[in-house]
Every structure is written in C-alpha cells, then in structure tokens.
Amino acid sequence: MNFVNKQTGKTLLLILFGLAAISVPAQDAKLNLDKLKGLENKARDVIEVNIDGKVLELAKRVLVKINDKNAKTIGEAIKGLKGIYVRVFNFEKDDEYNLTDIDDIRNQLKSPDWERIANVRSKRKNQKIDVFTKFSGDTMSGVAVVMSETKTLAVINVIGPIDIDTLVEISGKLNIPKIDIEKNSDKKEKPDN
C-alpha cells in the first residue's frame, strides 16, 4: 500500500529541495576540518575554537553592549556571521609538519566557488598566508585563511560576510591567530619565494 501518493511525494521533494537550496549558501562555506585531526599527534599544542549557533548569537547581542573598544569591534565584526572555526597547531621543531598534511583543506579551497584574494609569502619564519573568499551570488558566504610558519599551522574558517580588514583587526583576539598581512594586500597576489 502506498502511503504517499504522487502529488504528496512531489510536494515533499519540492519542500526538501527548497530547504536544501536555502541552507546551501550558509553551509557550503564551512570547510571540513576533520582531516586536520591527523596533525594532533605531531603537534605540541593544539587550539580548537568553534563558535556558532546560539553561542554566536549571544556573543553578537552582548559584545556590542560592553563599553570597550575591543568588545565593540568584535561585536560589530561578527554581526552577520554564522560561524567561526579555528584550528592552530604549534610544533616543537621546525618543519615537523608537511604541507601535504593540509592538502585536504587546499583541495576543498580549489573548488571554483572559492577565490584566493591574498597570497602573502614572507621569509620571516617562512610565513605563508593564503586568504580565500566564497560568494553566493553577490553575498559573501565565507572566508578561509590558511597560515603556515616553520613551527605553526593554522586554519581559520569564517561563515558569513566579513570584511578582510576587520578579520585582520580581530585576529590576535579570542584565540584567533594574528593574521600578519598589510591591509592593502587584498587582491594583489605576491609571487612565491
């Protein structure tokens, strides 16, 4: 016996696809950071930050109320965001990790939806910073920053629209690693060393 007739089935499918279409822009900027778990055994220190859902909503509500410049800056910066995810791995010795360890992250960022807007290479601590953005139509749906130094590897994934200057400004706070790039380096790719 068919409990769901054709019309009901079509309606259900439409609802399901409709819901999926609505949820795609917010969700697809979220990187799958699980593959980084493999680095945990090699790393001396690991920092994992996950701020989303109700906790983020609460932070938006409260931070702007605090009479403090830092709190207000962060409160304003996170206004339109849906999630902030940070993974930092510090290693004991130089080059204890391999860049192939983050190949999975780089592969996710190779999708045509992601665009690299900054690519900074510095000889200081062999620092490399790549900033990627993702747009859904005219709306920015997320930012990803991959930072590597001789003893540190960090991935920052922000879901929702955020100005890169603001991201640089709030870096170094709330366990988000300091993003050490010039504010005007956006969209100007520098050659690799």
Partner 1 sequence: MKKIMTPILFFTLVFAFLVPTGSAKDREYEAIVNHLQKNFQAQKVKIPFTWLARFAVKIVKPAGVRSFNFTLFENINFSSPTFDAEMQSAMRSSLSPAWSPILRIRSQNEDQIYAYMREDGKNIKMMLVTVNQKEVAVIRATFNPEKLADFLNNPRIFGLSLGDNKKLNLNNP
Residues of this chain that interact with partner 1 (CB under 8 A) are 40, 44-55, 58, 61-62, 65-68, 70-71, 74, 172-175
Minimum gap (Å) between residue 41 Cβ and partner 1: 8
Q: Which is nearer to partner 1, 68 or 95 (CB)?
A: 68
Q: Which is nearer to partner 1, 87 or 134 (CB)?
A: 87
End-to-end CA distance of the chain: 68
β-pairing, 114-122 vs 45-52, is unpaired
Minimum gap (Å) between residue 13 Cβ and partner 1: 29
Minimum gap (Å) between residue 130 Cβ and partner 1: 22
Residues 36 and 105: their CA atoms lie apart, in Å, by: 8
Q: Which is nearer to partner 1, 96 or 113 (CB)?
A: 96
**DSSP secondary-structure letter at 38?**
G
Write out the H or E segment, with its range, that includes residue 71. helix 69-77
Q: Which is nearer to partner 1, 74 or 155 (CB)?
A: 74
User: What Å distances lie between residue 61 and 58, 71, 73, CA to CA?
Assistant: 5, 11, 13
The tokens of 12 are what? 């259900």
Minimum gap (Å) between residue 128 Cβ and partner 1: 21
Q: Which is nearer to partner 1, 71 or 117 (CB)?
A: 71
Query: Within a 10 A sphere around the Cβ of 183, how many other Cβ atoms?
Result: 9
Minimum gap (Å) between residue 56 Cβ and partner 1: 10
Q: Looking up tokens 């409709």, which residue turns up?
A: 18
- Cα 33 versus chain centre, distance: 10
